[in-house]
Amino acid sequence: MNRRGGAAALTLICAMAVLGTTGVAHAAPTRPEPGPNPALEQVRKQIEDLYHQAAKATDEYNLAEEEAKRQSEQLVALAKQIEAGKQRIADLKNKAGAAARAQYRTGGLPPAARLALSPTPNQFLNGAGLLRQGERAAKGMLTDLDRTQADLKQYAKDASVHWKTLEATRLKKEAAQKQINDKIKAAEQLENRLEAEEKARLLQLEREAQYKAQNDWLKTGALKDVSGKATEAGKRAVQYATAQIGKPYVWGAEGPDSFDCSGLTSQAWLAGGRQIPRTSQEQLRRLPRVAVKDMRPGDLIIYFNDASHVAMYIGDGAMVHAPRPGRNVTIAGAGSMPILAVVRPDA
């Protein structure tokens, strides 16, 4: 087993132990050794802000991609309806042509005139019934033709609207992708200017900030009454998410080798037997909310006011998430970032 696999397996065992306990010693990372460095702290905040902006743009990109997929499917469905409508019109025109040819073969006399020339009363009466049936059929055929032509016009109009929307979505995706690349590049440039020791210290500063945020959150008593247990589906979702520990963050990725934050949570819940929205913003919008005191392993924690990050609660005050570019899927304190809401995929 390689180092990543060993670490993932060890963390998975720990996470599964968490699922079986309500716990009283909530997750608080070991405090890193302090050491103030104002200049490096400013760099850390700049990098954090750039990655935050990239995360927001990633959610916008993922949402645009989902919209583009839906619009493409609708365009395919409309194309099939248009083709069926064209075939229907062709069939109706063939029937109308057949009726015209039949009239030509009878000398061009209108049906009422041919009926009046019938030699016997019975033939006249029978012919009158057939004439009425024929008139109704012709009227129905013309009505069907008009309706089908109207449908085709509406389908064409709808297709035009969808094409315009799809193009707008494509432009939205391109803009989001450019912003993601620009923000990540800027953050990487900032980090690449640092010496090896400064990079190590930068990582230490990140941990210190997370430690402080987690401890401050725990001190509020937020987890005082939290004792919810995972459902069977929740356990499967947590097992999937924790099994990905050590895999890199890549924006737009849904596995199996890399993930972004909502790619991890959506795929974990797919493994748990539930299909949930792809993006953190849609997960917030469409999944039922629960209070922090009622959360249980498998619930999703949405972070920041713009819902730009999501993680999965695994119990005992901890969560698993794909943090940002340059970092791997990992376990962290559930309160190490500002919580916006908690949502439940298996409500």
What are residue 61's DSSP bridge partners? Answer: none
127, part of any domain: yes
Within this chain, do residues 184 and 84 fall inside the same structural domain, yes or no?
yes
Within this chain, do residues 168 and 48 fall inside the same structural domain, yes or no?
yes
What CATH number is attached to the domain comprising 286? 3.90.1720.10
Q: Which of 26, 52, 162, 321 is catalytic?
A: 321
Domain that holds residue 12: 1-26+225-347
50, part of any domain: yes
Burial label, 209 (beta-carbon count in 10 A; 0-12, 13-18, 19+): middle
Within this chain, do residues 204 and 173 fall inside the same structural domain, yes or no?
yes
321, part of any domain: yes
Q: What is the pLDDT of residue 129?
A: 52
Burial label, 77 (beta-carbon count in 10 A; 0-12, 13-18, 19+): middle
Burial label, 275 (beta-carbon count in 10 A; 0-12, 13-18, 19+): exposed
Q: Please indicate whether residue 261 is annotated as part of the active site.
A: yes
What CATH number is attached to the domain comprising 204? 1.10.287
Within this chain, do residues 197 and 249 fall inside the same structural domain, yes or no?
no
Q: Domain ends where: 191, 222, 253?
A: 222
Q: What is the pLDDT of residue 22?
A: 35
Within this chain, do residues 236 and 216 fall inside the same structural domain, yes or no?
no
Whole-angstrom distance, CA of residue 342 vs CA of residue 310 = 9
Q: Please indicate whether residue 26 is annotated as part of the active site.
A: no
Residue 155 structure tokens: 């389908």
Within this chain, do residues 161 and 180 fall inside the same structural domain, yes or no?
yes
CA distances from 339 to 45, 52, 113, 139 (A): 18, 14, 85, 66
Within this chain, do residues 1 and 106 fall inside the same structural domain, yes or no?
no
Q: Going residue by residue through the chain, which has 347 residues, state the pLDDT in tens, using 9 for 90 and above.
A: 443 444 444 444 444 444 443 333 455 555 555 455 677 888 888 888 888 888 888 888 888 887 888 777 877 877 887 787 777 777 766 766 666 566 555 555 555 555 555 555 555 445 545 445 555 555 666 676 667 777 777 777 777 776 787 777 778 778 887 888 888 888 888 888 888 888 888 888 888 889 999 999 999 998 888 888 999 999 999 999 999 999 999 988 999 999 999 999 999 999 999 999 999 999 999 999 999 999 999 999 999 998 999 999 999 999 999 999 889 999 999 999 999 999 999 98
256, part of any domain: yes
244, part of any domain: yes
Q: Domain ends where: 206, 222, 238?
A: 222
**What are the respective helix, strand and coil percentages of the chain, to the nearest 5?**
65, 10, 30
347, part of any domain: yes
Q: Domain ends where: 189, 222, 255?
A: 222
pTM to 2 decimals?
0.63
Residue 313 structure tokens: 């609660």
For every residue of 94-105, DSSP letters joined together read HHHHHHHHHHHH
Instruction: Find the helix packing angle between 261-271 and 232-243, rounded to 10°.
Output: 130
Say whether 272 sits in a helix, a strand or coil. Answer: coil
Q: What is the pLDDT of residue 17?
A: 42
Within this chain, do residues 59 and 169 fall inside the same structural domain, yes or no?
yes
31, part of any domain: no
Q: What is the pLDDT of residue 312?
A: 98
Does residue 119 have a cis bond before it (omega within 30 degrees)? no
DSSP 254: B
Q: Please indicate whether residue 309 is annotated as part of the active site.
A: yes
The one-letter amino acid at 225:
D
DSSP 224: T
Within this chain, do residues 43 and 79 fall inside the same structural domain, yes or no?
yes
Q: Which of 26, 52, 162, 309 is catalytic?
A: 309
Print burial letters for 177-196: b (CB count within 10 Å at least 16), e (below 16).
bebbeebbebbeeebeeeee
Within this chain, do residues 139 and 241 fall inside the same structural domain, yes or no?
no
Within this chain, do residues 106 and 156 fall inside the same structural domain, yes or no?
yes
Instruction: Tally the domains of the chain.
Output: 2
- The count of other CB atoms within 10 Å of the CB of residue 268 is 28
Q: What is the pLDDT of residue 12?
A: 43
Within this chain, do residues 217 and 95 fall inside the same structural domain, yes or no?
yes
